[in-house]
Structure 1
């Protein structure tokens, strides 16, 4: 891992945030523009200016001209046109103005743009308000993730210490997970040379790797401690832990990897990169859990319980003393309560999940822009000024492009048809490329980037307006706004296919592990319910604005396009993790007792503590994303935290025992195999447990 880290962090690939490309109409328009209008391509910044006394006030004008001169003098910017030179850049009342600053260096990064943003913010005062917008300005203003991961590790340490009661036992899962994440992130950067991914992949990958890495090590360490308590020697306990919990970890990790690779079905280049990168991290954490962790256990031995938390110990059985009846745990007693009224419990739990999932039906997808940034950001100030002076659609331009046979091609009828369309504020005259083989013009909607009306307008232009306009049949609608709409449409159409593929493959793996078709079907349905509930909570918080500001979302906004398609495979895989650990233990108890009710109660009792601890760690790790600055990552972290909480409580503690009680021996149905009958010893054990 150390060797991979040195190579990966030293020679890894840079992030790729270009979501364009593919067969979408906006992608074809962008390709046409890059081919025939290369001089117009490249990143730009937009300076927005607002002066209540007017920009022609001598003192205000002096400040504006100075900031424009300073921006133009930067080594990464091109020539800047002053609003005093072009009346189209100023509103009629002369209070608001704008100008575009081209970035001459196409490789300019956010570190080079940040001084420009700070300079503009520092130039604002009571007489004039300035804001610098644009994609690179947004990136430059977004602070690093900061201490969010550290908070997650600290929370995990506290939970592990409470669960294990030992600093040594607490430290093993954390050390294993951290080393695995370092190696996984480095390997991910190397893989990026072949399959590039966007910059949020590192944050998301670290968050997922930390959660599953600690959980996988937690399951193995718990089984190791149980074996020691049963009288095994350290080496035998390690073997027992790896052949039981370790086997389950391999199945669970493989399920998560396969679920993540289901993103490839989406057919989007960068999401394929996200799928491969996060799969690599999960794969490394899984391997570390069954190789590095056993090596650590070899050093620790009986010292696994060293540096213990002071707690009252229960009285143990001594040879020669009268045997005492072991107390039933809280989880086992709870399972008995659910099993006495299984139909009522299943109906209530299902109703709660469906109620939580209901908002999902109104989910809208988009990409974050300046309008959803924190209110103190320069990019938001720029958006607010431009929306006030030039309309909310100024930040959501639609760029039209088409091929023509000569420089005399007349596209004015198309421009007129677009201009007269309801929802269009204005359109620019058509411009012909230097080679005479392409024409482009821009139209500005009356609604903003995130408004549903803007998406409807794009569809109406493509489906009705352009086909009916003379010469409009071959005109393409592109630009960042149209690209976002195309990405959302493509995601919505392909998401069901990805869900079907992930469910099918995961069910095959679960059937192979627990040897039951019924349990695999139960797991698939329950996982869909918990993920649907998480989707519903995301919509209520992010899109409807319920508790949004409290949780760090500045305003109501559509759900980020990649969040639901990234959440599903991760959550389905993690839910399968808990299902694997629970049903594997239930299966062991069933084979020992031959009674489903007893097996479920005992299996739940033996796994409740570790699953609760694992879910608490996942919840803590995912919720720490709310401390970070990235709006989209916050959405994903919130959704996954809610899903893990629901899965570990409503699903595992209510639905699973209730549904398994209702199914009875059908739980163990497998085509071509007869359900095994319990042995006399197993029957006696079952009757004793019931008493």
Structure 2
């Protein structure tokens, strides 16, 4: 067993368990300290210089920097009208307080700036330019401003504050949801293992890996753009897969102990068998995340590398730190038990395998129909970005949106910028052309830059950012002035461009991730059909998760119960991240289940018995692993960040579908139907492929007992 490098590594970590543990402690503390001290900033700028909105933003920053700075908007609604002397005093006092706040520069008041008061004089707004980017605005200062604004409301006057800095405070990522996910994972592990020690080991292992990965991501922010939601995403994925990887190894360790091996031999057996599957499955996730680099999107680079580093750290912890911890605990792993589970000679997994084996055609058809029905809504998928109109109804950002939309029209939040290059452009002529377009509510007079290089028009649509009509309008405006050097930009246009850009780049990510994964699967399983079928089943389960996301987020099915304030497009970056992550996670269950089946087939040569035996031995642990991932992913539903919540829902739906419909029904049923063709591989290809064995056969008594009951397989 100790001939492989992984078994030798496991033996070394077991033998030097205390130094290994101390080394991990020192490395984790050092990484956390470095990340906290030298961590770089995050950014939520998703603009891309290759898009028209990105080019427009670059020109504005270069020639009119005061228009490009981050801002917060103070909205006011007064029943008596803004010209009422008492109302005017209250508005002026609050604007003065806003102007005096730290990191706030120039404030354009509704009384001094044309166009900032509605036609009925009851609604207005002030715009405060920040002297720092929104992500660098101290949360305490933003919170103080929000408290001041809330306190000023009342007696017929309503104030509300909006802006990226406000969103960061009102809808933060992480928080209590992280603790809920960790607690839920602990409960699932306790139920599965029945032992406090066995429950604690996967969690401790995952936490070490996550701490190092997040610290690496923080340091990465100094050289690559890292989006603000990246740490939450990395924590969610790291906790889910980190606990799962350790769970598989701990399960194999307990099986080896039950088969009569000594603790040291059990550690080597568990790590050299399940550990290989962990490295393959984790490597697939890393490859999938690295595939995000192919998108060419700047903000994806830091996210992809940082999340991959977190996965790699949890994977390394599973094959080094965990063997050391198992060495310290030894045979006492089942101490502190909360329940005793008797081994069954005919467990539920064996009975289920027999049921699927008796009716493989029916099982295949029904499971395929379920997946197709769940995936059907994906054809209605629409991408976008959350804004103030989609925020929770009790937030200041949503109240500000509602005030301004009521006073100035639904398109207030979707105001576009027409950037005209001078002297070749004709700002007045462009303004007349754009104003004549259907769907345009108003066009402002042109504002020229001091250097005379550009002029900017503010174009206000009739519809809001989330309305499909606004997308059509942006395309019409860009086509309306073919002979003019005009770029249509602004926040709403940037959202549209980003959604369309991600939609164009997603197929490339899919092709590369699927192709690399199929090559690895062919090598691992030494079967062409199994690899192709695995890729197809993974695509079906991912498609089903996308369909669930569309039904909940866009159509509103159970949206209120799942804490979504309103219907909205799916956040543009969510599918882009979901696919490589889910394809890698789906490989986990594929590898752990099919490798067990392959081992059984190599021993018996009987596909039917191998399917039953492999499913019997792996169904329970796959179910527990899936339950952990589901509760971890769903825990983010308690948070406020809408994009992260969508991602958590999509990941949870995919894991639930994959671990039940696919792995417990469709996979074994299809293998029953294919019979010996499951293992078909062209001879020329087999001669050129290396041999890789993921699992080493370790059979506890319960599995031996189940093998003596072939009557379950007709």
- Shorter-chain TM-score bucket reads over 0.9
Q: Which residue of 2 aligns with 1:644?
A: 655
Match of 2:676 among 650, 659, 665: 665
Q: Which residue of 1 aligns with 2:697?
A: none
Q: Which residue of 2 aligns with 1:429?
A: 445
After TM superposition, the score normalised by the length of structure 1 is 0.93
The alignment status of 1:598 with 2:616, answered yes or no, reads no
Q: Residue 425 of structure 1 aligns to a residue in which SS? A: strand
Q: Which residue of 2 aligns with 1:56?
A: 83
The alignment status of 1:492 with 2:503, answered yes or no, reads yes
Q: Residue 80 of structure 1 aligns to a residue in which SS? A: strand
The alignment status of 1:527 with 2:538, answered yes or no, reads yes
Q: Which residue of 2 aligns with 1:382?
A: 400
Match of 1:153 among 182, 190, 202: 182
Q: Residue 53 of structure 1 aligns to a residue in which SS? A: coil
Q: Which residue of 2 aligns with 1:82?
A: 109
Deviation per CA, 1:614-645, whole angstroms, max 9, x where unpaired? 00000010010001111110000011111111
Q: Which residue of 2 aligns with 1:330?
A: 348
Deviation at 1:126, TM superposition (A): 3.1
Q: Which moved more, 1:34-43 or 1:134-143?
A: 134-143
Deviation at 1:689, TM superposition (A): 7.6
Deviation per CA, 1:317-354, whole angstroms, max 9, x where unpaired? xxxxxxxxx73221122122112221221111111111
The alignment status of 1:466 with 2:493, answered yes or no, reads no
Compared CA separation, residues 287 and 115, structure 1 to 2 (3 A): same
Taking the aligned partners of 1:589 and 1:581, their CA distance within structure 2 comes to 13
Taking the aligned partners of 1:674 and 1:56, their CA distance within structure 2 comes to 83
Q: Which residue of 2 aligns with 1:317?
A: none
Deviation per CA, 1:289-334, whole angstroms, max 9, x where unpaired? 00000001111111011111233635xxxxxxxxxxx732211221
Counterpart mapping for 1:447-486 below 5 A? 447-463=463-479, 465-467=480-482, 471-472=483-484, 474-486=485-497
Deviation at 1:690, TM superposition (A): 4.8
Counterpart mapping for 1:351-390 below 5 A? 351-390=369-408
Unaligned runs of 5+ in 1: 315-325, 677-681
Taking the aligned partners of 1:10 and 1:94, their CA distance within structure 2 comes to 50
Deviation per CA, 1:109-134, whole angstroms, max 9, x where unpaired? 44332222221122111310111112
Q: Which residue of 1 aligns with 2:11?
A: none
Deviation at 1:191, TM superposition (A): 2.5
The alignment status of 1:43 with 2:70, answered yes or no, reads yes
Residue correspondences, number? 667
The alignment status of 1:412 with 2:428, answered yes or no, reads yes
Taking the aligned partners of 1:72 and 1:654, their CA distance within structure 2 comes to 63
CA contact (8 A) 1:426 1:444 kept: yes
Q: Which moved more, 1:106-115 or 1:446-455?
A: 106-115
CA contact (8 A) 1:55 1:96 kept: yes
Deviation per CA, 1:14-62, whole angstroms, max 9, x where unpaired? 2122212331111111111112212322111111111112222333222
Q: Which residue of 2 aligns with 1:217?
A: 246
Taking the aligned partners of 2:711 and 2:86, their CA distance within structure 1 comes to 92
Counterpart mapping for 1:333-352 below 5 A? 333-352=351-370
CA contact (8 A) 1:593 1:686 kept: no
Q: Which residue of 1 aligns with 2:47?
A: 20
Match of 1:574 among 579, 585, 590: 585
Deviation at 1:165, TM superposition (A): 1.2
Deviation at 1:688, TM superposition (A): 7.8
Taking the aligned partners of 1:199 and 1:569, their CA distance within structure 2 comes to 20
Q: Residue 551 of structure 1 aligns to a residue in which SS? A: coil
Taking the aligned partners of 1:593 and 1:674, their CA distance within structure 2 comes to 24
Compared CA separation, residues 8 and 134, structure 1 to 2 (3 A): closer
The alignment status of 1:227 with 2:227, answered yes or no, reads no
Unaligned runs of 5+ in 2: 1-27, 688-703
Q: Which residue of 1 aligns with 2:18?
A: none
CA contact (8 A) 1:192 1:277 kept: no
Deviation at 1:687, TM superposition (A): 7.0
Taking the aligned partners of 1:288 and 1:76, their CA distance within structure 2 comes to 43
Deviation at 1:142, TM superposition (A): 2.5
Deviation at 1:143, TM superposition (A): 4.2
CA contact (8 A) 2:534 2:590 kept: yes
Taking the aligned partners of 1:186 and 1:385, their CA distance within structure 2 comes to 41
Compared CA separation, residues 675 and 338, structure 1 to 2 (3 A): farther
Deviation per CA, 1:373-409, whole angstroms, max 9, x where unpaired? 1111111111101101111111111111132237xx5
Q: Which moved more, 1:291-300 or 1:395-404?
A: 395-404
Counterpart mapping for 1:550-561 below 5 A? 550-561=561-572
